[in-house]
């Protein structure tokens, strides 16, 4: 499974989406005791918080190194990865 990046990304997205539904399922009944009510602000809150998190993550990602610095094994790891494809 882990060797196919597209499949792994699809599964990760599915798990994330189900987690959002689970949190909604747990929290929503405490606000509306008569039944479930879906409001557009429910989705807007998730997108807003997720958008802020994604923007901060992307900003921090640009300022950090993606590979470990001063690791003596990094050249070997890169060569192994290049040979695997």
pLDDT digits (tens, 9 = 90+) for 66-85: 888 888 888 888 888 887 65
The whole-angstrom separation of Cα 19 and Cα 27 is 12
Cβ partners under 8 Å of residue 42, min gap 6: 24, 28
Pinpoint the alpha helices (H) of the chain: 5-27, 40-63, 74-84
1: pLDDT strictly greater than 70: no
Question: To 5 degrees, how large is the angle CA 14–CA 18–CA 20?
Answer: 120
Q: Which of 9, 28, 59 is nearest to 51 (CA)?
A: 59
Q: What is the pTM of this model?
A: 0.52
Domain ranges in the chain?
A: 1-38, 39-85
Mean pLDDT across the chain: 86
Residues 31-60 pLDDT 10s: 777 777 788 988 898 899 999 999 999 999
């Amino acid at each position: 499974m882990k060797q196919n990046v597209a499949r792994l990304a699809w599964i990760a997205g599915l798990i994330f989406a189900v987690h959002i539904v689970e949190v909604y399922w747990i929290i929503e009944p405490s606000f509306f005791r008569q039944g479930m009510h879906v409001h557009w602000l429910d989705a807007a809150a998730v997108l807003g918080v997720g958008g802020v998190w994604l923007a901060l993550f992307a900003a921090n990602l640009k300022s950090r190194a993606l590979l470990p610095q001063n690791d003596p094994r990094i050249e070997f790891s890169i060569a192994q990865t290049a040979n695997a494809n």
